[in-house]
Chain A
């Protein structure tokens, strides 16, 4: 049973455009929500993370928006670049130390 639902499965965006990936969860015990970026042949790398006491966090071109009441969070990639082409995973962690991942979104940025 997947604890974090992620959409879309894939998306294509033009260079300079905005990529938006959405995630939803049910477990209200989750208190840490990271996003990971994975390139082919590499392990997932932590991109940005948020805790539920804030509604938004921005790091460079990457922004997490968090809606606690709706139990949803999203990743926005502004000014998307070809180097951003990768698979992105949302995740959530509660007090059981276990990080549960979404199914992943493959982002392709066209030059």
Chain B
């Protein structure tokens, strides 16, 4: 069973569209995250939720909106997609204040 699963794996869409990426974890972790990996492989945190509460909100355009319906799920909705949004988006989870993160396999978003 996959510990952190995200869908879809690939997403190709046109500029201006709205899209969502879904993430689910079955590890029982308290905290979930969204990271963006750019073309140079740099990983940058975007958001974090702990038990459905937003605890980290980095400087991200407000076109990006995370939603956590419960502590096992964290979705990312992106409005009005731009070319610069093209990247790989990773979901991750961890125990709140200890241990490392477990990452999903990523969603490669391509905006054309």
- Chain A interface (Cβ within 8 Å of chain B)? 32, 34, 36, 38, 41-46, 49, 87, 89, 95-101, 103-104
B15 within 8 A of A: no
B34 within 8 A of A: no
Main SS at interface, chain A = strand
Taking CB atoms and an 8 Å cut-off, the chain B residues in 31-52 that contact chain A are 31, 33, 40-45, 48, 50
Distance in Å from the Cβ of B69 to the closest Cβ of chain A?
21
- Chain B interface (Cβ within 8 Å of chain A)? 4, 31, 33, 40-45, 48, 50, 55-56, 90, 92, 94, 96-98, 100-106
Collect the chain B residues with CB atoms within 8 Å of residue A46's CB. Answer: 100-102
Taking CB as reference atom, which chain B residue is nearest A93? B100
Do B103 and A98 touch (CB < 8 A)? no
28 contacting pairs across A/B (C-beta < 8 A): A34-B100, A38-B41, A41-B105, A43-B4, A43-B90, A43-B104, A43-B105, A43-B106, A45-B103, A46-B100, A49-B100, A87-B41, A97-B50, A97-B56, A97-B97, A98-B45, A98-B48, A98-B56, A99-B33, A99-B45, A99-B94, A99-B100, A101-B43, A101-B44, A103-B40, A103-B41, A104-B41, A104-B43
On whether A89 and B43 interact (CB within 8 A), knowing A43-B104, A43-B105, A97-B50, the answer reads: yes
Distance in Å from the Cβ of B83 to the closest Cβ of chain A?
22
Collect the chain A residues with CB atoms within 8 Å of residue B41's CB. Answer: 38, 87, 103-104
Do B31 and A97 touch (CB < 8 A)? yes
Do B43 and A44 touch (CB < 8 A)? yes
